[in-house]
Amino acid sequence: MTTRVGPAVTTSASDTGGPAAVRVLLPAGPRPDPFVLAGGTGIVFVDGGRVLVGLGRAVTLELPGGLDDRPAVDAAAAALAAIPFEDGASASSGSHGHGVLAFAALPFDRSSRSELVVPELVYCSEDDGTEWVTIVSADGSGLPDVTDPGTGAALRRCLDESSDDRPDAVVPSPVRLRPRTSDRDFTNAVAGAVDAIHRGELSKVVLARAVDVHLDRPVDIPRLLARWRALEPACTLFSVPTGAGQFVGASPELLVERVGDRVTSRPLAGTTDRDHDAASALPASLADSPKDTEEHRLVVDAIRAELAPLASTLTVPDRPELVHLHTITHLGTTIDGTLRPEPAGTVPSALHLVARLHPTPAVGGVPRREAIEWIARLETGPRGTYAGPVGYMDAAGDGRWMVGIRALTVDGADAVLTAGVGIVAGSDPATELAETGLKFRAVFDALAPGVAFTTDQVPAGRTP
Residues 303, 339 share a domain: yes
Residues 182, 148 share a domain: no
The residue among 137, 130, 116, 193 whose CA lies nearest residue 5 is 137
The residues annotated with a catalytic role in the active site are: 204, 253
Residues 151, 197 share a domain: no
Residue 76, Cβ density class (10 Å: 0-12 exposed, 13-18 middle, ≥19 buried): buried
Note whether residue 456 is domain-resident: no
Query: How are strands ordered across the β-sheet holding 321-324?
Result: 268-273, 328-332, 321-324
pLDDT digits (tens, 9 = 90+) for 302-319: 999 999 999 999 999 999
Residues 299, 238 share a domain: yes
Give the other-Cβ count within 10 Å of 32's Cβ.
22
Note whether residue 113 is domain-resident: yes
Whole-prediction pTM value?
0.92
- Domain extent for 204: 176-447
**Which CATH number fits the domain that encloses residue 307?**
3.60.120.10
Note whether residue 278 is domain-resident: yes
| pLDDT confidence of residue 89 | 81
Residue 349, classed as helix, strand or coil, is: coil
Residues 325, 238 share a domain: yes
Rounded Cα–Cα distance for residues 418 and 49 (Å): 28
Q: Which of 56-70, 149-163, 280-294 has the lowest mean pLDDT?
A: 280-294
Number of domains present in the structure of the chain: 2
pLDDT digits (tens, 9 = 90+) for 271-281: 887 665 555 55
pLDDT digits (tens, 9 = 90+) for 211-270: 999 999 999 999 999 999 999 999 999 999 999 999 999 999 999 999 999 999 999 998
- Domain end point (choices 160, 191, 212): 160
